[in-house]
């Protein structure tokens, strides 16, 4: 089950964070997303140690915690997508598919002529689309 998704700008500024759990967990999930940025930075700056090639946008599992697994994705413009899930045995192909759909939704949201680049994403359409993607991810991973 996906518990949180986040979009983080190229200067590590949060552009969008949505949690799909109780309000009590929201602060903890924000902390997990913030901590994952260190791992993303390490993987981007030291590609030989971490494995993925420079052209690879999917960063894989960034790190596991006791209850969650954190996955990352980096766009060409250095915008980071973070996924926090409670499933401890998620297939990489499912996560890659999720990030592909997440990226398409993000591109649609920032293509809006009224969106200011580098500012928080406040689009209700984007939030609804993310909720739909998250719900469909839960169904596809259970099959």
CATH class, domain 2-136, is: alpha beta
Domain boundaries along the sequence of the chain:
2-136
Taking a C-beta distance cutoff of 8 angstroms, is the pair 126, 112 a contact?
no
> CA-to-CA distance for 124 and 142, rounded, in angstroms?
28
> CA-to-CA distance for 75 and 81, rounded, in angstroms?
8
What was the pLDDT predicted at 143? Answer: 35
CA 93 to chain centre: 15
pLDDT tens digits for range 87-99:
888 898 999 999 9
pLDDT score of 54 more than 90: no
Taking a C-beta distance cutoff of 8 angstroms, is the pair 109, 123 a contact?
yes
pLDDT tens digits for range 64-87:
988 899 999 999 999 999 999 998
What does pTM read for this prediction? Answer: 0.89
Confidence of residue 45 (pLDDT cuts 50, 70, 90): confident
């Amino acid at each position: 089950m996906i518990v949180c998704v986040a979009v983080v700008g190229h200067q590590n500024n949060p552009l969008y964070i949505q949690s799909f759990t109780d309000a009590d967990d929201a602060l903890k999930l924000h902390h997990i997303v913030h901590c994952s940025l260190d791992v993303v930075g390490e993987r981007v700056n030291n590609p030989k140690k971490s494995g993925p090639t420079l052209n690879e946008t999917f960063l894989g599992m960034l790190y596991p915690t006791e209850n969650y697994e954190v996955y990352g994705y980096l766009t060409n413009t250095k915008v980071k997508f973070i996924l926090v899930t409670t499933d401890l045995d998620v297939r990489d192909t499912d996560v890659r598919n999720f990030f592909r759909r997440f990226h398409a939704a993000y591109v649609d949201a920032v293509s809006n002529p009224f969106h200011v680049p580098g500012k928080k994403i406040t689009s209700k359409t984007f939030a609804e689309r993310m909720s739909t993607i998250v719900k469909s991810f839960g169904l596809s991973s259970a099959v």
